[in-house]
Amino acid sequence: MRILTKLLPAKHLLSIAVVSAFLAVALVALPDGEIADKNTISLEANFEVVDQSQLMLQDLRQLAPTANTPAPNVFFSTNNINTDTTTTTIHDIPAPKALVQKSAPPTFKEQTVEIKSGDSLSKLLSAEGISAQDIHKVSLADKSQKTLLQMRPGQTLQFVTDNTSGELTSLTIVLNRLDSVTFDRVGDEFTRKEDSRTPEITQAYKEAEINDSLFVDGLKSGIDQSLLIELANIFGWDIDFALDIRKGDSLSVLYEEQLLDGEKIGNGNIIAAQFINNGRTYQAIRYTTDKGSSYYSPDGLAMRKAFIRTPVDFTRISSKFNPNRLHPVFKTTMPHRGVDYAAASGTPVKAAGDGKISFAGKQNGYGNVVIIDHGRGYQTLYAHLRGFAKGTKRGARVQQGKVIAYVGQTGWATGPHLHYEFRINGTHKNPVTVKLPNDEPMPKNDLKNYLPYAKQVVATLANSHSPEFAQKLASLNKN
């Protein structure tokens, strides 16, 4: 646990010096007499300082609860000196009681503790000398929200204690750069208040030329990884980033940056992006309709396709789509009407597109199999599954990307793999090469507002291009 102790009143700083001097004297064990006398005199000359050092000594006692010694009457008695720091005793400094009380303003101590794995509120606070009653009272104020119960490593607790009574006066849990929850003592209980800061949003522009890969060159050009992942998702429907990338491909991106106190704290949405791939250019613009936010071409076509190309993360294609194949088990000509994706048993299988499950169960050679109807004559089939995901049953609606089952080798299979079929109006197509239909186009009503907006965004993007990027685009358009 790392503790950062900040003492509030500036006078305390002065008293630290005074107390340090005392402790140094006590520990070094100078012959009693002269020096002690000197200190006594200097302290008595200034009651304010005596007062503050009294409070400091209380602080020290709270920080080291083991130093629990009966107050000795002797000022600096040498027989109490101990080299073992854990049992070092701290003596009361005789100071006129009346004066101390009169001049003592309420002083508070503010501390910050970073939450580590395995910490709990009571563990953290009781280690700082906060009473069990106070911890209980704070928990009561948080009873329905349970923010404090869900504290996570990396978050911090800031708390203020009354130096005289040792009572907790305020506790703040800082959840992240933007959000915090504060508990303030009011009488004998605590109130709870949530604070949220709103970051300032600005637009930023970056571009990159790709000579190695999207990620290598993107990062080199100062584009954050999270943005690159998003760019890969936006353009991944049209560009295979593993196979299609050519040296000299370029991209430009207009996006939001979140600022807090002038400092960048994160990225917002990608507003628009452009990709020049192998002599072709793609543009995507983010737009929000009743159905949510998505990316569209400048003329309003969805960037997203109605199907994802591969419904599983596979290691290799173990058998291609082949209408004239010799079957590996039966050694007879038997068309392979799908593609086999080799993957470890248990790898999640995703629905390729939105649709309704028309079959989920066992079928001879297929073993455990799922068939999804996507409407418009489209159907996909997933076979040799080890098992089904929760909710995968006949009649259930599924969304593109939802995990429906797990890779296995049930039915006629020689190893764990997903056998995947893509059918259009009953005809089997090669899932690897079939032209995937675009997602539903933008509704006409939205399109009316979208087109002028898109025009404006395209202009902003064009104005941001570097001369090199603009030149590359111009040469493309000429061809």
Contact residues for Zn ion, defined by CB under 5 A: 340, 419
Residues 146, 156: contact at Cβ < 8 Å?
Answer: no
Closest CB to Zn ion among 419 and 428? 419
- The Cβ of residue 341 has, within 10 Å, a number of other Cβ atoms equal to 24
Residue where the block lists tokens 């570097």: 466
Closest CB to Zn ion among 148 and 385? 385
Closest CB to Zn ion among 79 and 332? 332
Specify the 3-state DSSP secondary structure of 57.
helix
User: CA–CA separation, 447 vs 460, rounded Å?
Assistant: 20
**How near is the Cβ of 329 to Zn ion at its closest, in Å?**
11
**How near is the Cβ of 336 to Zn ion at its closest, in Å?**
6
Of 306, 309, 303, the residue nearest 432 (C-alpha):
309
Q: Mention every residue, 6+ apart, whose C-beta is less than 8 A from residue 30.
A: none
Residues 241, 213: contact at Cβ < 8 Å?
Answer: yes
**How near is the Cβ of 216 to Zn ion at its closest, in Å?**
35
- The Cβ of residue 129 has, within 10 Å, a number of other Cβ atoms equal to 15
Closest CB to Zn ion among 307 and 321? 321
**How near is the Cβ of 366 to Zn ion at its closest, in Å?**
9
**How near is the Cβ of 345 to Zn ion at its closest, in Å?**
16
Closest CB to Zn ion among 287 and 321? 321
User: CA–CA separation, 464 vs 127, rounded Å?
Assistant: 55
Q: What tokens appear for 228 in the block?
A: 């690159």
CA distances 198 to 46, 174, 259, Å, are: 48, 15, 9
User: CA–CA separation, 99 vs 50, rounded Å?
Assistant: 10
Residue nearest to Zn ion (CB): 419
**How near is the Cβ of 276 to Zn ion at its closest, in Å?**
37
**How near is the Cβ of 421 to Zn ion at its closest, in Å?**
8
Closest CB to Zn ion among 153 and 335? 335
CA distances 440 to 220, 274, 436, Å, are: 36, 22, 12
Of 148, 143, 205, 189, the residue nearest 172 (C-alpha):
148
Closest CB to Zn ion among 327 and 465? 327
